[in-house]
Amino acid sequence: MINLRNASIYWLPPVAWMIFISPVNDLLTSQSTSSLIMPLITWLLPGASQHTSETLHILLRKTGHFLEYAFLAFLLMRGFRGSKKTVQFTWILYAGLISLGYSAMDEYIQTFIPARTGSFYDWLIDSSGIACSLAILSWKNKSD
């Protein structure tokens, strides 16, 4: 029998995060983030050239890709683990496969949305975030 309280505690966060990072979310487009990030870059680095500011914007966006999928993998791993203290390899595998699949679907769907651009390179960045997150969780589990 599924415990509804545990299901909501452990599975609601990854589902909510997947909805937030969904390709149809207009908050994460390059145009929307530039209206927030570019003024911040200009404020922090008032002497930076336009090229430097744009490069930093791209680097911050790509870092965002890495972190958002690293976090998704973490949340999924947490969902599979639940309240248990140990970690099973199959949970790591499932969290990784779901995260990789969601990232691939995200990038593919973005190719059909005018304000977005799907990219194989973004998927590679997402994948590296997923791998890094799950590697840290595996390492942490072995050291416990």
pLDDT above 70: residue 27: no
Sign of CA dihedral 56, 137, 71, 114: positive
**Is 37 part of any domain?**
no
CB proximity list for 48: less than 8 A, separation 6 or greater: 41, 42, 56
**Is 129 part of any domain?**
yes
**Is 33 part of any domain?**
no
Domain that holds residue 94: 4-24+64-143
With bands split at pLDDT 50, 70 and 90, how would you rate the model's confidence at 59? very high
Name the strand (E) or helix (H) holding 34. helix 30-44
CB 82 within 8 A of CB 127: no
**Is 75 part of any domain?**
yes
Rounded average pLDDT over 56-71 = 93
Q: What is the pTM of this model?
A: 0.87
**Is 10 part of any domain?**
yes
Rounded Cα–Cα distance for residues 144 and 141 (Å): 5
pLDDT above 70: residue 1: no
Percentage above 90 pLDDT, the chain: 55
Question: How many structural domains compose the chain?
Answer: 1
